[in-house]
Structure formats: structure tokens, C-alpha cells
């Protein structure tokens, strides 16, 4: 078995190491993928810094990474629909297939979900293996950088389309990359207005580029002040909480109209006191969002891109795999959108801003 380069949490402590590890093989029902690009997720930053969550959940040694695009180079026995040469992304939630929700077709609710790059070796490597059922084949031309972030793009689609947004006033709290993509999706889906909040002017400007009606620095102006400017008299119709901050969810609840609906993706680090009297008397709906619906969200992502949705502006930094330290520093700085690592080049000087791969002729999805 030959070795490959991989970014590994080698020991239980801070830091990562680019090192050689055995190249995986595709077993029965599995697909071997040559990794082309990967995106850095907040989860990867937690594992790198080895915070309390990571020390409880992760077992070293571990190859990180769950956001990726690659080329299929081999398949194991029993694989039917994925072929060598296919350009693919991967669903990073590995489900059991036998629990109540899996058996009912609600695999995103699997009680025994395993995370790629969290509980099992991931995609920050030259090669990765996935079950065929977790492989998404791109049947149309796609920018490799965009294909690399289908995982967080899916989070944004799942959240943004959790409730109908056509003609609605939408509030998004948290202008991280997923929040920014959600703003683009809501506008594309016909929202009347999209207000997104943060305290980072860098990220608020990215949100403006993808079509946010108002990108608001809440350290300088309260949300309620922009409502009259947008012709709103009763409050927002749909909320999307992306920040994980208690005060953001509290202010969102306070500015929703009666009957408003809130999708919550942001993970808080502590308890969140909530004005339940307002939730009850305004008859608000709160819905937790985790991951992507398998595979309805993936269909939606491909359709949205083919229909003209542009999430390219959210990708702001590109690095080669030997520049992983700089890549993680950029992702941690907050002055970035999505950070992409190219696994075909050690450094990124020669990487073009966009590189599309022509695949098979488009088919209905």
C-alpha cells in the first residue's frame, strides 16, 4: 500500500501535521476519490485548536476534513452508479441505515450519524474513501472551488429553504460564509427583502455582493431601526439564526411578526435564555437545522447553481496543501469567506480564480 500526503491530528493536543499516511482502498460499496479541493470548516478549526469539544469527541490520529471535491479513481465491488472519472463531492454525514429515521427515508435525522473527518478519516488528503450512497456526482460543468464547499452550501440551502421565503421579509443573524450564502439563496428564491447582521464589515460587504438588501452592523444600529425603511410594520416573516449567539436569537425573536418562523443553524456554546412568552403569544415556530437533507438538499443545490445562483464571492482565499498553516490562520482571522485548499498543488501561486471542469452532459436532477 503506497502512502499519500494528509493533514492529520497526530496527537491529542493543538496543531496539525502534514504527513504521509497509508492510502485507503475502496471496499465493497465504496468509492476511492482523488481529492482536488477542500474547504476549511469551523469544525476543522475546533479540532486544530483542540478545544473542549474536540478533546471530548475526536480521537487521534485522525485525518481531518469533510468539505471536498474530487475525481473518482476506483470503485469497490457492488458500486453501480459512480464511475472512474466522475467529478464528485461527498455528504460528510455517514448514517446507519437501520434506525427509525433512516428506515423512513429521513437519513439526515439518523441517531447514529458519524462525521467524516471527525469520527473517521476525512478528506484533507490526496485520497478519501466514501460509501457510494454518500457520493454526489456533478452532472454539469462546475467551478471546482464551488464544488468543494457543497457541504456548507447545503447547510445554507437547508436553512434558507426551511420555510417559504417568496415575497417575505427575511432576517439572517450571522454573516459567516453560511449566512452569506443563505442571503444569496433567499434573494434568489424571491424574498422581498433580506437583512443580514454581523459586526464584521468585511463579511457584511461580502453579503452585499451576493445581494443582501441591508447588511447591518448591529454594534452600531439596532435591527428595529431598519424595519420602517423597508416598509415593515409587524416584523420579519422568516428568521435564520446562523451565529450561535444568545443575544442574536433573542433579538430575532423580538423582531418577528406574529406567526413568524425561525430556522436555527448556529450552535450556541452555552445556555440560551429565551423569551418564551413572546414565542407563545406570537405563535412563533422555531426549527433546528443540522446538516443537509439527504439528498433533497443536494438536488436543490445543483438546480440553484444551474438556475444562475452565484455563490462565488463567498470564496475569498485559496492555498496549496503545503500552505495549510496560512490557510487555517486565514480561516480563523474572520477577514475571509470560505478558504479553499488545493490538493493538486503544494502552493497556490498558479491556481486560477476559477477552474471549471466539464463533465457529462447536463441531465435533469
Q: Which residues pair with 169 in a beta bridge?
A: 193
Please indicate if the annotation marks 223 as binding a ligand. no
Q: What is the pLDDT of residues 207-227, one digit of tens each?
A: 999 999 999 999 999 999 999
Please indicate if the annotation marks 18 as binding a ligand. no
Please indicate if the annotation marks 292 as binding a ligand. no
Active site residue: 19, 46, 278, 285, which one? 46
Please say if 43 is a catalytic residue.
Answer: yes
Length of the chain: 365
- 56 and 99 part of one domain: yes
Q: Identify whether the C-beta of residue 174 lies closer than 8 Å to the C-beta of residue 244.
A: yes
Structural domain total, the chain: 2
Q: How many CA atoms lie within 13 A of 72 on its CB side?
A: 26
Q: Is residue 32 part of a domain?
A: yes
Percent with pLDDT over 90 in the chain: 93
- 273 and 330 part of one domain: no
Q: Is residue 364 part of a domain?
A: no
Please indicate if the annotation marks 321 as binding a ligand. no
pLDDT, average across residues 94-106: 96
Q: Is residue 305 part of a domain?
A: no
Residue 41's φ and ψ, nearest 5 degrees, are: -110, 160
Average pLDDT, the chain: 94
Q: What is the pLDDT of residues 170-204, one digit of tens each?
A: 999 999 999 999 999 999 999 999 999 999 999 99
Distance CA 197, CA 348 (A): 32
Q: What is the pLDDT of residues 32-56, one digit of tens each?
A: 999 999 999 999 999 999 999 999 9
- 221 and 138 part of one domain: no
CATH number, domain with residue 316: 3.90.180.10
Please indicate if the annotation marks 41 as binding a ligand. yes
- 229 and 275 part of one domain: yes
Q: Is residue 223 part of a domain?
A: yes
Helix (H, G, I), strand (E, B) or coil at 134: helix
75 pLDDT higher than 90: yes
- 179 and 222 part of one domain: yes
CATH number, domain with residue 229: 3.40.50.720
Q: What is the pLDDT of residues 10-35, one digit of tens each?
A: 999 999 999 999 999 999 999 999 99
7-29 burial: b if 16+ Cβ within 10 Å, else e: bbbeeeeeebebeebebbebeee
**37 is in which domain, residue-wise?**
3-149+311-357
Q: What is the pLDDT of residue 349?
A: 58
- 215 and 114 part of one domain: no
> What one-character-per-residue DSSP string does 338-362 give?
EEEEETT-SSSTT--S--EE--SPP
The domain boundary residue, chosen from 273, 288, 303: 288
Q: What is the pLDDT of residues 228-270, one digit of tens each?
A: 999 999 999 999 999 999 999 999 999 999 999 999 999 998 8
339 pLDDT higher than 70: yes
- 329 and 250 part of one domain: no
Q: Is residue 181 part of a domain?
A: yes
Q: Is residue 9 part of a domain?
A: yes
Give the global pTM: 0.92
308 pLDDT higher than 60: yes
Q: What is the pLDDT of residue 112?
A: 96
Please indicate if the annotation marks 336 as binding a ligand. no
Q: What is the pLDDT of residue 340?
A: 98
Please indicate if the annotation marks 196 as binding a ligand. no
Helix (H, G, I), strand (E, B) or coil at 157: helix
Active site residue: 19, 23, 38, 43, which one? 43
Q: What is the pLDDT of residue 359?
A: 38
Please indicate if the annotation marks 110 as binding a ligand. yes
- 269 and 316 part of one domain: no
Q: What is the pLDDT of residues 272-292, one digit of tens each?
A: 999 999 999 999 999 999 999
- 128 and 176 part of one domain: no
State the pLDDT confidence band at 1, using cuts at 50, 70 and 90: low
Q: Is residue 255 part of a domain?
A: yes
- 174 and 259 part of one domain: yes
Please say if 317 is a catalytic residue.
Answer: no
- 63 and 178 part of one domain: no
- 228 and 335 part of one domain: no
Q: Is residue 187 part of a domain?
A: yes
Please indicate if the annotation marks 290 as binding a ligand. yes
Q: What is the pLDDT of residues 318-328, one digit of tens each?
A: 999 999 999 99
Amino acid at each position: 500500500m503506497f502512502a499519500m500526503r494528509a493533514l492529520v491530528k497526530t496527537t491529542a493536543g493543538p496543531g496539525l501535521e502534514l504527513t504521509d499516511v497509508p492510502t485507503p482502498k475502496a471496499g465493497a460499496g465504496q468509492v476511492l476519490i482523488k481529492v482536488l479541493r477542500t474547504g476549511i470548516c469551523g469544525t476543522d478549526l475546533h479540532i486544530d485548536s483542540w478545544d473542549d469539544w474536540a478533546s471530548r469527541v475526536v480521537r487521534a490520529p485522525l485525518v481531518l476534513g469533510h468539505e471536498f471535491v474530487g475525481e473518482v479513481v476506483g470503485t469497490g465491488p457492488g458500486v453501480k452508479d459512480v464511475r472512474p472519472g466522475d467529478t464528485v463531492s461527498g455528504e460528510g454525514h455517514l448514517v446507519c441505515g437501520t434506525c427509525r429515521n433512516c428506515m423512513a427515508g429521513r437519513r439526515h435525522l439518523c441517531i447514529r450519524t458519524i462525521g467524516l473527518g471527525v469520527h473517521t478519516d476525512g478528506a484533507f488528503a490526496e485520497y478519501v474513501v466514501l460509501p457510494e450512497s454518500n457520493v454526489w456526482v456533478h452532472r454539469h460543468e462546475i467551478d471546482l472551488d464551488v464544488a468543494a464547499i457543497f457541504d456548507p452550501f447545503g447547510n445554507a440551502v437547508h436553512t434558507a429553504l426551511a420555510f417559504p421565503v417568496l415575497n417575505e421579509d427575511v432576517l439572517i443573524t450571522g454573516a459567516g460564509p453560511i449566512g452569506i450564502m443563505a442571503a444569496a439563496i433567499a434573494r434568489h428564491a424571491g424574498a422581498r427583502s433580506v437583512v443580514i447582521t454581523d459586526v464584521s464589515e468585511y463579511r457584511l460587504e461580502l453579503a452585499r455582493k451576493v445581494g443582501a438588501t441591508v447588511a447591518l452592523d448591529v454594534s452600531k444600529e439596532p435591527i428595529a431601526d431598519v424595519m420602517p425603511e423597508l416598509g415593515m410594520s409587524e416584523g420579519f416573516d422568516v428568521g435564520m439564526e446562523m451565529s450561535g449567539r444568545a443575544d442574536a436569537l433573542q433579538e430575532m425573536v423580538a423582531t418577528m411578526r406574529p406567526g413568524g418562523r425561525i430556522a436555527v443553524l448556529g450552535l450556541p456554546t452555552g445556555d440560551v435564555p429565551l423569551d418564551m412568552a413572546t414565542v407563545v403569544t406570537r405563535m412563533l415556530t422555531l426549527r433546528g437545522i443540522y446538516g443537509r437533507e439527504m439528498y433533497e438538499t443536494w438536488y436543490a443545490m445543483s438546480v440553484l447553481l444551474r438556475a444562475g445562483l452565484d455563490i462565488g464571492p463567498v470564496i475569498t482565499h485559496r492555498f496549496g496543501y503545503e500552505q495549510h498553516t496560512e490557510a487555517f490562520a486565514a480561516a480563523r482571522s474572520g477577514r475571509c469567506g470560505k478558504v479553499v485548499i488545493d490538493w493538486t498543488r503544494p502552493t497556490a501561486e498558479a491556481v486560477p480564480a476559477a477552474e471549471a471542469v466539464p463533465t457529462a452532459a447536463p441531465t435533469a436532477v
